[in-house]
Structure 1
Amino acid sequence: MALRLGQMPAQRKAAFPPSVDADTRVLILGSLPGDASIRQGEYYAHRGNAFWTLVGDVLGEDLRGQPYAMRLKRLRARGIGLWDVIESAEREGSLDGSIRGAELRDLGAFVARLPALRAIAFNGKTAGLHGRRQLGERQDLPLIDLPSSSGAYASLSRDAKRAAWMAIADHLAAAS
């Protein structure tokens, strides 16, 4: 692809390590961290991304108001893990539509190491596309497509996104 005058080539961007433990019951998979997240070294760092509000609504907790390390700790305590379906890719900016040359994770091997896992949720269309391609249709594990928490995805209202995200709540109940 030829560059336009003044255009910089896309940079190779890498994802973060997983935030999971042996008690992870729901794994939320995004695509690849955006530029704000990469700069801050935090999942879903862009102020316009509703992830922390949406998952906080599912848990009944104000996660957005907590320091990042505490947010991750609260997610793990409630059985939620985070990771991305793409290990690295070239991308100019933060939009999923600009991802090129994606190197995918080995999700099958990864989820096999999570003994308490009950469901996998994909945050957005790109995560779902790549994640389902890797995992196939599974009889043992529900795969949940969630509307993207990104502020760039404005086709749904925050309330409509919240209603869809509540689908993961049933999979978080403690085992009896």
Structure 2
Amino acid sequence: MESAPRVESFPPFADDRSRIVILGSMPGTASLRAYQYYGNPRNYLWRLLYALHDAGEPAERYEDRLAFAAGRGIALWDVLASCVRPGSLDSDIREAVPNDIPGLLRRYPGIRVLACNGSKSYGEIGRRYREAPELEGKTVIRLPSSSPIPTPSYRGFEDRLDAWRELLGPYLTK
């Protein structure tokens, strides 16, 4: 039996304008291959961000998508630095090594909201960093995953958008 590969997340995408960090768990295989945050064209993340800002369809170029996020105070990173995982499912993650989320918050003190993209990232933040002083006074939100895989509560894009609008909308810069 062949063992699953150890995969590594990307460096944080953040700058001094960042007010919200969207935290995934670990990029999926399509994103890792493309070396892009949410690089799987089926993932809803970019559509969600553009829709939340009434900005139409996401830009074609990845660099333009990143500029769009940065211009609205949105940073991107993953809770995990590396893990062993066959495929893209969070449920298959093993031997996880966390990223330095407290270090990110020290480097970018303007980040006030940690928006966890799915239950895995939310659970990891709570389990690993609940007592971290850097999280004191920050808002931690559990968003439904931007993955296109249907769940009992979230069947597609529209119901995810409604939830993201309700949970994250109050913190967005228009």
* TM-score using structure 1 length: 0.88
Task: Could you tell me which runs of 5 or more consecutive residues in structure 1 were left unpaired when the two chains were aligned.
Answer: none
Is the contact between residue 63 and residue 71 of structure 1 (CA under 8 Å) also seen in structure 2? no
Give the SS at the match of 2:116.
strand
Give the SS at the match of 1:38.
helix
Q: Measure the CA separation in 2 of the matches of 1:139 and 1:46.
A: 33
* Segments of 4+ moved more than 4 angstroms: none
> Which string of whole-angstrom CA distances, capped at 9 and with x for unpartnered residues, describes residues 31-89 of structure 1?
00000001101111112211111111112223534310110011001100000000000
Q: Measure the CA separation in 1 of the matches of 2:82 and 2:97.
A: 5
* Deviates further, 85-94 or 148-157: 148-157
* TM-score using structure 2 length: 0.89
What's the CA shift for 1:30?
0.1
- 1:106 aligned residue: 100
Gap change, CA 1:142 and 1:88, over 3 Å in 2 = same
* Deviates further, 97-106 or 56-65: 56-65
Q: Measure the CA separation in 2 of the matches of 1:16 and 1:62.
A: 27
Larger C-alpha radius of gyration, 1 or 2?
1
Gap change, CA 1:135 and 1:153, over 3 Å in 2 = farther
Gap change, CA 1:79 and 1:130, over 3 Å in 2 = same
- 1:78 aligned residue: 72
Q: Measure the CA separation in 2 of the matches of 1:69 and 1:47.
A: 15
What is the identity, as a one-letter code, of the residue corresponding to 2:146?
Answer: S
Is the contact between residue 26 and residue 168 of structure 1 (CA under 8 Å) also seen in structure 2? no
The root-mean-square deviation of aligned C-alpha atoms, in Å, is 1.7
Query: Kindly, what percent of the aligned residue pairs are identical?
Result: 35
Give the SS at the match of 1:55.
helix
- 1:165 aligned residue: 164
1:152 and 2:149 matched: yes
* Deviates further, 55-64 or 67-76: 55-64
Give the SS at the match of 1:101.
strand
Is the contact between residue 89 and residue 99 of structure 1 (CA under 8 Å) also seen in structure 2? yes
Task: Could you tell me which runs of 5 or more consecutive residues in structure 2 were left unpaired when the two chains were aligned.
Answer: none
Q: Measure the CA separation in 2 of the matches of 1:165 and 1:87.
A: 25
Q: Number of paired residues?
A: 168
